[in-house]
Amino acid sequence: MSAPAARPAVRLAHRSCPTCEASCGLRVEIDDAARAVLRIEGDPEDPRSQGYLCPKAYAMKEIFEDPERLERPIRKRPDGTWEEIGWEEAFEYATSRLLDIKARYGADANGYYIGNPTGHNVGAQLYLPALIGGLGTQRSFSAGTMDQFPQNVALHTMLGDPWLFPIPDLDRTDFFVCMGGNPLVSQGSLMSGPDVKKRLRAIEARGGRVVVIDPRRTETAEIASEHVFIKPGSDAFFLLSVCHVLFAEGLVRPGRLADFTDGLDEIERIAADWTPERVAAATGVDPATTRRLVRDFCAARGAWYGRIGLCTQEFGTLASWLVYVVNALTGRLDAEGGMLFPRPATGRSEPGRPFDPFTHSRYKTVARGIPEIAGQIPCGLMAEEIETASAGERRMRGLVVSMGNPVLSAPNGERLAAALDELEFMVCLDIYLNETTRHADLILPSTVQLEHENYDFLFEATSIRNFARWSPALFEPRPGMRHHWQILCELGARLAGASGQVVDDMMVKGLLGMTTGPGTGCPNVTPDEAFAKLEDAEGPMRMIEAMIRIGPYGDRFDDASDGLDLRRLREAPQGIDLGPLEANRLPAAMPLERLDLVPAHIARDLPRLESALAERSREDRLVLVGRRQIRNMNSWLHNLPALAKGRDRCTLLVHPDDAARAGIENGKRVRVRSRVGEVEVPCQTSDEMMPGVVSLPHGYGHRLDGVRLSVARELQPGACSNYLTDETVLDVPSGTHVANGIPVEIAPA
């Protein structure tokens, strides 16, 4: 027998970048002995990203190395200092406190908040139901109600699945309209595709056009064929005028969609009054521009896309819905070069999948009686649901926060920060002692990206090309560390009085019970046989394996098939390219039998829009919008030296005329005040802003006491834009908050 070969000192590994939706393929050079990442570079052999990466690719390395990252549970002592404790003690502490609150006041006295990195971690996503089931509460909050929730509501009511997003067919479209998104910086959201800049340039190179409609001449607008300023929050007016022109000029051509679409007459009737001239004062868009744009869009193979600027605004659902309506009326929905539906390997867009009908108002919040929508409560209402003064005896007393930093990311963060201290118990599943977690009684940290395997689960459903990708763990976690899925599963199981392993097995067996055996897509294998065939003994990849084997490219648990299974997935270092998105997936891929172009739930909001027109046309107010920056990811990359270095980025962009009127000079500090609060930041004058609109990035405000983020505090403290966001103003059909179009006053500081 020969001795095992010595491991090379330096090893090259492949994985996808889990920091943003683009999920670029990376090559990582590793020194195992030193437990160090030597280099990260774009992988030229990756079929999706072809060598592209952005500065945030280094986040993986710097988080892994961050000396302030937590690796052990910490518990707050009565004097406010923290002590490390063991996992058993930590689980016991969390479970007993949450169960005690439940026993005394009922399950709804506990609540939870789910943050954004969940979408980037397959275990965090798949095991949420374990925690949610264990808590059994109706108080469900998430970053979604500061994000895509209007799009979820529109899709849920129109075609029956909130997560069946139509994605721009970026590589084949000839006319790309981008509203309320800045993909050059965000790298594309609900449009996951690395190197958006190259793809947009390619549209123009093949004779197509890119049109950006945004209150700021963004980085994307700079390379577009055309940029149109629009007043924040006025997109629904504008899009109704687009529908008007489509009908008035005989441009409505739904094509094959007409066979299974209801509401074409109704939308014609709704759009009848909304001429471009009638909305021009409210939108700031010249009617001639609207008409020209509509004609050009119809003459080309267009894709009309809207993102967060259309969601987190006063009429977020109407605006998001109307984007889908415009695509449907022009036959661009589900058509090549238009907006297409990805086909995830995990089978989540296949016919016959379980269907949850849209529901709302089954219960209401205690403080203000705001109705639940599809199980969600607006995240900015957390504070008032906690405060004794506003919620009384039925207040929320226990809170679990998983991968979220709502003090910086939810509206009126100052009020929330104060409210959190009224809780009887708060546990945060997080890797930092930050603006939110400092209020907790217990913090449970998990392994970070390089220490756990991953599967691009959310983003295979939002990608501009079908793909399946597994990424390996590049380092063994240090002894005593836990994966996020293990924490969710264990906590959920203990709350339910079960064991983690039983809950884990149950989740997979439940899935196989519905999808294997006679009468299913896998008739030749029983659920027990299928279970026995799975490679892993536990965890998220076992669940993924079950999903992909029964999925559209899977082997159906047939040994003779060369379809996808976990082994094949794990053997593909660059992932598996599953081809361009397919057209004509509707109606089979949607749970509703017919596409409802004008869902009653959404149409009910039209009178609110109508009654706002007069005021929006008249007023001359200054409003605030948000802005993303290439080196940020919401609130949590500011503690990483490579990403935080450089000049102060948390600046207020102001049009020179607005600055002059307020007596503010470029580079000087400006005070920004809203109904809710005020912040001070440096002013940066620029004609990239539409007059009357100012822009401030979110995710800053790190100079709070009790926070262990010394790099952020030193290099990019900034100020929190959500101290200005008004938690009382909601997009009514979705309960989403308004982060764009906030009335503000500015003055020299």
Binding site for ligand MGD (CB under 6 A): 20, 115-117, 143, 146-147, 179-183, 185-187, 189, 213-216, 218, 230, 232-233, 235, 307-310, 313, 403-406, 409, 429-432, 434, 445-446, 448, 484, 625-626, 628-630, 632-636, 698-699, 721-722, 725, 739-741
Q: Nearest 5°: CA angle at 343, between 342 and 348?
A: 110
CB of 586 to ligand MGD, least distance (A): 25
Residue pointed to by tokens 């014609």: 268
Q: Which residues pair with 684 in a beta bridge?
A: 653
Give the separation between CA 192 and CA 195, rounded to whole angstroms.
10
Give the residue from 745, 746, 742 showing the smallest Cα distance to 624: 742
Task: Give residues with Cβ within 8 angstroms of 713, minimum separation 6.
Answer: 702, 703, 707
Provide the 10 A C-beta neighbour count for residue 572.
15
Helices (DSSP H) in 284-412: which residue ranges?
Answer: 287-299, 308-311, 316-329, 382-386, 388-391, 406-409
Cβ proximity to ligand SF4: between 22 and 624 the closer is 22
Q: How far is the CB of 341 from ligand MGD (least distance, A)?
A: 20
Q: Binding residues for ligand SF4, per CB under 6 A?
A: 17, 19-20, 22-24, 53-54, 56-57, 187, 194
Chosen from ligand MGD, ligand SF4, Mo ion, none, partner binding at 19 (C-beta under 5 to 8 Å by type): ligand SF4
Q: How far is the CB of 577 from ligand SF4 (least distance, A)?
A: 17
Q: Is 130 exposed, middle or buried (0-12, 13-18, 19+ CB in 10 A)?
A: buried
Nearer to ligand SF4, 60 or 335 (CB): 60
Non-local CB neighbours of 470 within 8 Å, separated by 6+ positions? 453, 454, 455, 541, 544, 566, 569, 570, 572, 575
* Contact present, 401 and 488 (Cβ < 8 Å): no
Which of the listed partners (ligand MGD, ligand SF4, Mo ion, none) does 736 bind, with a CB threshold of 5 to 8 Å by partner kind?
none
Task: State which residue, 456 or 658, has the beta carbon closest to ligand SF4.
Answer: 456
- CA geometry: angle 714, 681, 141, nearest 5 deg: 80
Name the strand (E) or helix (H) holding 14: strand 10-16
Closest to ligand SF4 by CB, 23 vs 716, is 23
376 binds, among ligand MGD, ligand SF4, Mo ion, none (CB under 5 to 8 A by kind): none
Spatial distance between the Cα atoms of 727 and 729, rounded to a whole number of angstroms = 6
Tell the smallest beta-carbon distance from residue 33 to ligand MGD (Å). Answer: 25
Alpha helices in 330-459 (DSSP H): 382-386, 388-391, 406-409, 413-420
Q: Which of 146-154, 379-387, 459-467, 595-603 is the region at the interface with Mo ion (rule: CB under 5 A)?
A: 146-154
Q: How many CB atoms within 10 Å of residue 612?
A: 17
Nearer to ligand MGD, 68 or 505 (CB): 68
Q: In whole angstroms, how close is the CB of 472 to ligand MGD at the nearest point?
A: 16
- Rounded to whole angstroms, the maximal C-alpha distance in the chain is 87
Residue nearest to ligand MGD (CB): 309
Return the residue of 108, 147, 605, 688 that touches Mo ion, per CB under 5 A.
147
Q: Least CB distance from residue 438 to ligand MGD, whole Å?
A: 11
- Which C-beta is closer to ligand SF4: that of 46 or that of 372? 46
Q: How far is the CB of 633 from ligand SF4 (least distance, A)?
A: 7
Residue 22 binding: pick among ligand MGD, Mo ion, ligand SF4, none (C-beta 5-8 Å cut-off by kind): ligand SF4
Contact flag: residue 21 with Mo ion (CB under 5 A): no
Binding site for Mo ion (CB under 5 A): 147
